Structure 1
């Protein structure tokens, strides 16, 4: 066991200032979240409730197991653009009858903007995550009252992404709460099982089952998932219960507030890994890249973390060798603020184990990618901008999700170029 040490004293003036910067950014992010939760505005929400109907997040909460977590994805999508924050769609991973599922819930209080690309992008991303990680998908759909009912528009990548779920034998369900139009109509059209609320449904084709009201529809959806006899195919956590980090995750606010990536990534690892335990790989070679092994919420992980310094040939060889080892041992990889060059990206393209990323963009095709708040709104490459203090929890939920599928590496079958570092 190699327990990480830390040089951060969060009480010093510099770190208190950095913490203030991070909290200011989080305040702006919370404003964006408030805008997303507001949907079509107070009048539209009041009118919707007056009809005896639930909002999308209320439907999600009623669908999920009581007191279970919900990892909402891209809640501030379209933040900083001309389009509605949140894109009028709630997507995320939650537990239904003990089964981790991908949830897609449309917001009927927000009229559909036909030129807004974010709603369809958000649903497509949810469908791809569901297929890749073998997560049953549950759609909770309804369009704005003034939207014309009708089937989905012709063609499009959304139909292909949803169709991939059927190809990969991942079950899909949909509850229709009212008229459905536009891209949202693909969800009931392409689902394996459709439940329609009897007095509200329409425009979504024939239903497999009719519900008396919204709550009954959600009950029936839970019943469908319960009958799946669904099991994870990946291994359970190696250590349970996991040991918490030895250092306060709240210190990550001070790290997140630093303007340039000149912090030692080991300071982050000390606050997210189980027991702050990290076995570093080749610590004296290629020091611009930190690599090593640990556990996160009981799941074994390999870590590739950048220091902000450019990579030389030594860092590249070190990374490729480490990626080989992770695939040989069927170990998921976590990227922290790492910037990869062409050879490293090529190695990651051959890597078959799950990749999770924080602050790296989509290099290496990660299953999930998150970022910490910055001065400018996040771009399209994020599955969410998260509170730094929640990093360990978010990555733990993602690791649980990816282990719903088989976790198996590419091994040594000639797909990697030699990455062995000369010592």
Structure 2
């Protein structure tokens, strides 16, 4: 392969402006992330500690291998809603006893770890990651069950959590529950449906109904320990497979369980020797212009992500608005599709379709780097078949079986978002930089379309058009779309797996590729009908 030659001028004013804009946006993201880490607030965390308990993230830190990374997913879930940022749940991928596992931890400092609608969506995403990548699931349980005021949105769909656990077990994916406190009502079914269960002396409480509910339902007097304590479940009901003396002991037992799983990866191993990129990852802060209307060369990003900055470009002279080619990242082979000038034309669509087919032939994972305003419109392009060709690309993305990873760097608008493997097309992982935006189209374009439609409607009815009202409408719509296309808004709705620091991109992609290779990496020759 040929090493890419960077033309990025890190001393230029344009670079400095872009870098400053990115750093400002990163600060905003970090402030929201701090809210998730803060859980229910200092008083709730302090009360939790006084009970001799660790926080959810402290438990995870002790559970994973020393000095190993934890790839947290969807940390901004519920952002912009009435619920705590983070949705009272921590999910992510960590290495436990040498095995990559999907870890799910309730945050008991937020309403006792109860599940609200966003908690459900986040847990469903966690299970999806486990299924797709064949990752053992470790649940760190301390939950009061459903958030009762929102039960109408939690109860019926909530059954999927338990369905997923049992289906994981049926597929041979190990499920492990470490119970750190109350595991009440629906929360009781998490250990009940796990393969391995660890409970803690005088701390774990697992019951379908606590003493007050039992009293109401049956008139029976009971206490926590006799009804659902660890001692009872270890000696009498048999729900507890292991009996821990404290939280640290429970985590030790959990690590021992994983070490005895005899778990093997199914995907091919990476090359162990590879070179770091030739250029500084710090440069990624200034690659994306502060104004997304200004194009940038994605090769500058690729050169700072892939091993040795080596990139074997495919069809470099054809469909040049889309860069495609082969590389290696942390020893894993990848095929890369990256938007160069935003718009996807027929040539780019056909080029992408062929490239995706080739990746499936060679069982090579695909990385999509988004900066697209969508497929080209206009009479000439319609007559030349842009619908057919765009559909070919989307067909290829939809039916491709090799793992996909998507990264939103800049714009990701319209059907271009689909063709570049947006969330609806089930990439294994999807992350966004703080510079990213995604919507049906840009704010000005969307407001302009609405204005033209309203103007045409007024003319058709013979009514005068209110220019002042139109001006106000445009401003309102532009502000709305701008707010709704920002990465924190989209991340809050779990439309991505996290808004990340560009400097961390190579590391995060490496962690994702490693997790992906726990499962088989296999392509397909079976695509839908391509309209020619």
Q: TM-score range by the shorter chain?
A: over 0.9
- Per the TM alignment, residue 115 of structure 1 is displaced from its structure 2 partner at its CA by 8.3
Q: Residue 377 of structure 1 is aligned with which of 488, 505, 520?
A: 488
Q: Residue 325 of structure 1 is aligned with which of 358, 375, 378?
A: 358
Matched, 1:248 2:280: yes
Larger-Rg structure: 2
Name the SS for the 2:350 alignment partner: helix
Distance verdict in 2 for CA 1:236–1:8, change over 3 Å: same
Matched, 1:347 2:396: yes
- Could you list the runs of 5+ residues in structure 2 that have no partner in the other structure? 149-153, 208-227, 229-238, 375-389, 409-416, 436-485
Structure with the higher helix share, 1 or 2: 2
| Deviates most, 264-273 or 358-367 | 358-367
CA distance in 1 between counterparts of 2:54 and 2:289 reads 38
Matched, 1:415 2:447: no
CA distance in 2 between counterparts of 1:282 and 1:175 reads 52
- After superposition, residues 30-69 of structure 1 pair within 5 angstroms as 30-69=30-69
Q: What are the superposed Cα offsets for residues 234-288 of structure 1, whole Å, 9 maximum, x if unpaired?
A: 0111x32321111111111112453316111111101101111001100111111
CA distance in 2 between counterparts of 1:97 and 1:126 reads 20
What residue number does 1:405 align with?
A: 519
- After superposition, residues 22-421 of structure 1 pair within 5 angstroms as 22-111=22-111, 116-143=116-143, 153=155, 156-181=159-184, 184-204=187-207, 206-237=239-270, 239-260=271-292, 262-337=295-370, 341-359=390-408, 361-374=422-435, 377-379=488-490, 380-410=494-524, 412=525, 414-415=526-527, 417=529
CA distance in 2 between counterparts of 1:251 and 1:11 reads 11
- Per the TM alignment, residue 217 of structure 1 is displaced from its structure 2 partner at its CA by 0.6
| C-alpha RMSD of the superposition | 2.3
Alpha carbons 2:107, 2:113 under 8 Å: kept: no
CA distance in 2 between counterparts of 1:355 and 1:395 reads 11
| Deviates most, 228-237 or 73-82 | 73-82
Distance verdict in 2 for CA 1:364–1:308, change over 3 Å: farther
Report the TM-score when normalising by structure 2. Answer: 0.74
Alpha carbons 2:145, 2:186 under 8 Å: kept: no
Distance verdict in 2 for CA 1:145–1:214, change over 3 Å: farther
Report the TM-score when normalising by structure 1. Answer: 0.92
Name the SS for the 2:44 alignment partner: helix
- Per the TM alignment, residue 338 of structure 1 is displaced from its structure 2 partner at its CA by 5.6
- Per the TM alignment, residue 97 of structure 1 is displaced from its structure 2 partner at its CA by 0.4
- Could you list the runs of 5+ residues in structure 1 that have no partner in the other structure? none
